[in-house]
Amino acid sequence: MEKKASDIQKERIKELEDKANLLLGKCDVLTLASINEKGYPRICALSKLKAEDFKDIYFVTSKRSHLNGKATHFENNPRASVCYTLEGDSVTLIGDVEFIEDKAFQLQLWNEADRKFFPKGIDDPKFRLLKFHTIEATFWIEGKFRTCKYK
Count of structural domains within the chain: 1
For residue 55, what pLDDT is reported? 98
3-class DSSP state for residue 4?
Answer: coil
For residue 38, what pLDDT is reported? 92
Q: What is the pLDDT along the chain (151 residues), one digit of tens a residue?
A: 788 888 889 999 999 999 999 999 999 999 999 999 899 999 999 999 999 899 999 999 998 766 668 999 999 999 999 999 999 999 999 999 999 999 999 999 999 999 999 999 999 999 999 999 999 999 999 999 999 999 8
Give the CATH number, domain containing residue 61: 2.30.110.10
Q: Which residue range is the domain that position 139 belongs to?
A: 5-149
In this structure, the strands spanning 79-86 and 29-35 are antiparallel
Instruction: Yes or no: say if 140 and 19 are a contact pair by the CB < 8 Å rule.
Output: no
For residue 63, what pLDDT is reported? 87
CA distance linking residue 117 with residue 103, whole number of Å: 18
